[in-house]
Chains A and B, each alone.
Chain A
């Protein structure tokens, strides 16, 4: 007789327990050390260094971890929006990752504060000498618009609004989910489902603003309405990969072994596959339109990513490594159902996602305003990765503390536990 699993938690260990505090302090220490080292090395680098270099490296890694957190927030919202049952067991990990957007607001301050105070090294539009001219032509129509939109003060207002919206969203979903662990109230699920639709609209709007502000405004004379879509595809990809990676690592450490089934992992793999293809699709959409129209105001952005051999190599690495290779290894069912393989796969996809942000942000560092940019990538970026990664892990541990890593009394827990994949 086939047994239907009861909607009951059976794993012996379902929380980080005391490990969370230990890990939190170690990660925070490593993180602060990394950021400090990155700042020091940047300041001593000379030509390609300075606070500007640190800002760029910091922005790459901030965007990397923020997109992961935002991807997780999207994941949580979309599960409520679709009344999904399969994902209940992995939803808690996504919730904790999504809640990390609140501490990430603090980590955004090294970018936000200098910009508000008028530092123009990172965002050239904030520089006093900057004008809306490109290659000898001045786009006077842009002068007023950009002058209004791209100002330190308004940038700060927008950033704060975005972070407040995300924080409230995360607080709403995560807080209610924790409350349900205690009470088991079905109405909590109903309420989260009800608000998921308007919140999703808010999320989409704020994400567009963030994509324009954080990354696209680095090159303020370049316009692409596809850019936020590309940014979003990276969010979901990073989010799904990180949820899977955290789930697999937790299971390796002997936690939530029974609840997160291989079917969950396979489904997260499917989501990764879908957004690998979606990423390629929208990135090509952006490239194709610009390539076809062939207008200098737009093509220059790609031109200096192709002209320098370093950036050109990175472009090809992204095309092959971010699209074709993961497409092939995420396609077979057997590979998605192998836990050790999926650990490697998620790390690989996250590495590619990191390179994607490098490709978007770093060429701007040495861009001469016309068509060339030197290849600049090195220790400051890696140290910033260690730094922000440490602080991100620390934030994760802080939020998780000794809370359960699966929703304990979700009404769809039974459905998730008995879910089987085809």
Chain B
């Protein structure tokens, strides 16, 4: 049980065998461990190589007596343990910060204010993985080196050998050892103090797995398919039953909403509050501005020249709503502030900003204004179509109204200073909705730059920004298109669809 097992060869059990079967080796029984150690030493000194010792407990010193080489298992375990460290640390690293992964991304959860990746939190798991992998490596490495598991061993057919797990010590010398000779080995064993010597015969019993076990195995294998089948079914079925709540106190937590007022707990029915004003959290001190929320740069955030007078917005008269298909009513020009005519100093006007503007423009603006800015986006075209063909529209009462999206090359637009275009994007104009809440300030400016670039390209003016490598804008590619009314969709729409944006889906909205 201590040393490596050198085992005899297996020969096939032949049919029609007699009681005589092939000799595998000789088994000597000893009364105590010292006799076994002595016998092992004698066997080694006599030149035997293929022998093994069996004892009920580990016997110190038997390795040297048998001449067993030191096992390589520790190095094997060490290597696996280092692998375990790498696995444990890597697993946590991946789970905690690998949100970049396109499939199976990590979590990026900040837990109790700790950094996403901090070693102290990862040491316990890494340590446990080392212990687990080392234990497995030791246990299964021992199996592997001892060529375990074996289903049968001829020794197990010997009645006497059963005491190897109780109070007897055994030494077996195999027949295929070069030194082995049945008579001489028997003599030697008796000289070494064996209390009994017994021949070990090849086990001739049928070593096929019994039919009952095979059937049980088949049934078990089939049963193992049940859980995956249930999982598959569950994934493709709708369950009307409400979900189970394993931890109701986590699903429905006792907590306060931000800025609520109320007692934190009751002490003998007397309400207790955190703060004197009974709120559950403190209000920020007056005048607090969050990080990145300082909007004092009026040129950047409003598009208005610094130091100029800003008219009271409540006095701004609202323009009359335009009706589709008709010439817009003469606009009542509001009292406007003084818009900036150049990009605010806080911005770096360069090619990457143009690209950013194109990107944002294609996402937010093209649906109405079209990719080239001709005011012929798909939504616009479809809405006009509906508005014209709508029976309601033809009747007296009309609520299907659509104001045609403006072409960005309209002279009323091209003359606008950048600040005003920025303001239009931010707050909306006429029936155009405000985008200030959806698009960040710098992105809005980028869109303004892109719009200005489109206009410059159409007017064959020098570009506002000289690209390092000439970049073909859609407007430059497009054949100069007229302000298209509803009927002349094709030409400009084709140009629009040529551009690199994802196919615009015009159904629905």
Contacts and interface: CB of A to CB of B under 8 A. Distances in A.
Are A and B part of the same complex?
yes
Interface of A: 1-2, 4, 281, 284, 287-288, 291-292, 294, 419-422
Contact of A421 (B34, B60, B114, B120): B60
Contacts of B264: none
A287 B118 CA distance: 14
A287 B61 CA distance: 42
Contacts of B61: 420
Interface of B: 34, 37-38, 41-42, 58, 60-61, 63-65, 112-114, 120-121, 123-124, 127
Contact of B120 (A1, A281, A291, A420): A291
Contacts of A281: 127
Which of A2, A288, A419 has the most B CB atoms < 10 Å from its CB? A2
Contacts of B123: 284, 288
A312 B257 CA distance: 43
Contacts, number: 31
Q: Is the interface of B mostly helix, strand, loop or mixed?
A: helix
A2 B38 CA distance: 6
Nearest to B78: A331
Nearest to B65: A2
B120 A287 contact: yes
A287 B42 CA distance: 56
A294 B113 CA distance: 9
A165 B37 CA distance: 45
Given A2-B65, A294-B112, A288 B60 contact: no
A28 to B, nearest CB: 42
Given A421-B60, A422-B60, A422-B63, A292 B124 contact: no
B64 A1 contact: no
Contacts of A287: 120
A4 B34 contact: yes
Which 6 A-B pairs give the minimum distances between C-beta atoms?
Answer: A420-B61, A420-B60, A2-B41, A291-B120, A2-B38, A288-B120
A335 to B, nearest CB: 13
B124 A288 contact: yes
Contact of B38 (A1, A292, A294, A421): A1
B80 to A, nearest CB: 15
Nearest to A288: B120
A2 B60 contact: no
Nearest to A285: B124
B235 to A, nearest CB: 37
B475 to A, nearest CB: 57
Contact of B112 (A2, A292, A421): A292
A281 B127 CA distance: 9
Contacts of A420: 60-61, 64
Contacts of A422: 58, 60, 63
Nearest to A420: B61
B36 to A, nearest CB: 11
A319 to B, nearest CB: 11
A4 B65 CA distance: 13
26 contacts: A1-B38, A1-B41, A1-B42, A2-B37, A2-B38, A2-B41, A4-B34, A284-B120, A284-B123, A287-B120, A288-B120, A288-B123, A291-B120, A292-B112, A292-B114, A292-B120, A292-B121, A294-B112, A294-B113, A419-B60, A420-B60, A420-B61, A420-B64, A421-B60, A422-B58, A422-B60
A323 to B, nearest CB: 12
A86 B447 CA distance: 84
Given A288-B120, A292-B120, A422-B58, 20 more contacts: A1-B38, A1-B41, A2-B37, A2-B38, A2-B41, A4-B34, A281-B127, A284-B120, A287-B120, A288-B121, A288-B124, A292-B114, A292-B121, A294-B112, A294-B113, A419-B60, A420-B60, A420-B61, A420-B64, A421-B60
A294 B121 CA distance: 13
A404 B64 CA distance: 32
A1 B65 CA distance: 11
Nearest to A291: B120
A4 B113 CA distance: 65
A292 B65 CA distance: 53
Which of A1, A287, A419 has the most B CB atoms < 10 Å from its CB? A1
Nearest to B111: A292
Contacts of B113: 294
A284 B121 CA distance: 11
A2 B124 CA distance: 48
A419 B61 CA distance: 8
A41 to B, nearest CB: 39
A23 to B, nearest CB: 36
Contacts of A4: 34
A292 B123 CA distance: 12
Contacts of A419: 60
Which of B61, B114, B124 has the most A CB atoms < 10 Å from its CB? B61
A288 B114 CA distance: 13
Nearest to A1: B38
B409 to A, nearest CB: 61
B135 to A, nearest CB: 15
A105 to B, nearest CB: 39
B121 to A, nearest CB: 7
A284 B127 CA distance: 11
A419 B34 CA distance: 12
Contacts of A291: 120
B109 to A, nearest CB: 15
